[in-house]
Amino acid sequence: MSRTASPSHARRQSSNNYGNNNQSNNHSFRSRPGGVPSSSGSGGGGRLNSARVPSPAMMGPQTSSNQAGFPSIRNIGLLLGWSVKFKLNEGAAGGDRWVEGMIWCYDSIAGAVILQCPGTIKGRHTYRMIKVNQIKDLQVGSLLEPHPPNPSGMIPKILEPVRPINVTAIAMRENAAVLADDARRARIGHGVSRWAQEIFDALGKTLPVRWHQTSIIILDDVLLPGPFYRSEDVKVSGDNQNRMSRVKQVLEGEWSRLLRTEEGKQMELEARNAASATTTATSTSSSSTATGTPAPAS
């Protein structure tokens, strides 16, 4: 029974004849009429048929000066990491221009290729964006990026698409970071000695503490005034003796721990000297005010 060949059958037969009659140019890309590239032989040019038009990313390096056209927009991404030379139609009238580099990125939506080109300084690179519709021809060189360790991976380099950014999650992280920084700043005393800050940090490891000017408030109703921050200076609002006893016990333990170190002794001595100097200056100022004589310059 004879069968009349359909148009699609005729196109497939024509494509097979093309592959059989062009053994000397197996590694070239074909162009559709009008200069629109195609790598599959069909009208859409979207599916790669390696039996008829091998891809350079699968077949290895090639440098064919008589390549008719360039890979389609969908398949040029297979050349990521390859050294190429593009022939552009943006040169002067009657002359085209060649650019050379490694395909570093390809954006199918924008229809653009980014080439990594050698820079003027050794070891540095420059990057150039080229619109695909400006490319008239290409020559494929060697693979500059290393092959993946998986031997079955035919595509040497795939860039993952950028995932959508969760703006709400970013705002929550920002607010949490601001609150954490505010809490950290609130634990730093202003106008206090190193000894006072050390006592505050030590108490804060086991008890809730906060600053009120130069005094330390513990458990919201226990006050530890400066400048020495001793256990006998602890005051409590109301008749909450249990909290005061707990604070005194912790404070005496921290005093004992700090004074066992040379740095702790030095900080405690600095606090005493600063307190003595403040007391002397206050007494001198009071005496001068009472007698009407100016206080000596410090």
Query: Mean of the pLDDT values across residues 67-84?
Result: 64
Average pLDDT over residues 21-43: 39
Res 90: pLDDT:
65
Give 113: exposed, middle or buried? Use CB within 10 Å, 0-12, 13-18, 19+.
buried
Query: What is the pTM for the complete model shown?
Result: 0.43
Encode pLDDT of 170-188 as tens digits. 999 999 999 999 999 999 9
pLDDT band of 216, cuts 50, 70, 90 = very high
Give the model confidence (pLDDT) of 81-100 as tens digits.
888 888 887 655 556 688 88
Residue ranges matching CATH 2.30.30.100 in the chain? 24-42+50-143
- Provide the token pair at 186: 């609130």
- Note the pLDDT of residue 17: 44
**What are φ and ψ of residue 227, in 5° steps?**
-90, -5
User: In the CATH hierarchy, which fold is given to the domain comprising 24-42+50-143?
Assistant: SH3 type barrels. (2.30.30)
CA 225 to chain centre: 46
Predicted confidence at residue 25, as pLDDT, reads: 41
- pLDDT of 249 over the 50 cut: yes
User: What's the start-to-end Cα distance of the chain, in Å?
Assistant: 121
pLDDT at 20 over 50: no
Between 138 and 198, whose confidence is greater? 198
**Token pair of 106 as six digits:** 């390809």
Residue of 98 and 7 predicted with greater confidence? 98
- Is the predicted pLDDT of residue 158 greater than 90, yes or no? no
45: burial class by Cβ within 10 Å (0-12, 13-18, 19+)? buried
Q: What is the pLDDT of residues 113-153, one digit of tens each?
A: 899 988 888 878 889 898 888 888 878 876 665 544 444 44
DSSP summary character for residue 39? S
Angle between helix 241-259 and 262-291 (nearest 10): 110
Q: For 277-293, how does the pLDDT look when each residue is reduced to its tens digit (9 = 90+)?
A: 777 766 666 555 555 55
Q: Which residue has the higher pLDDT, 91 or 76?
A: 76
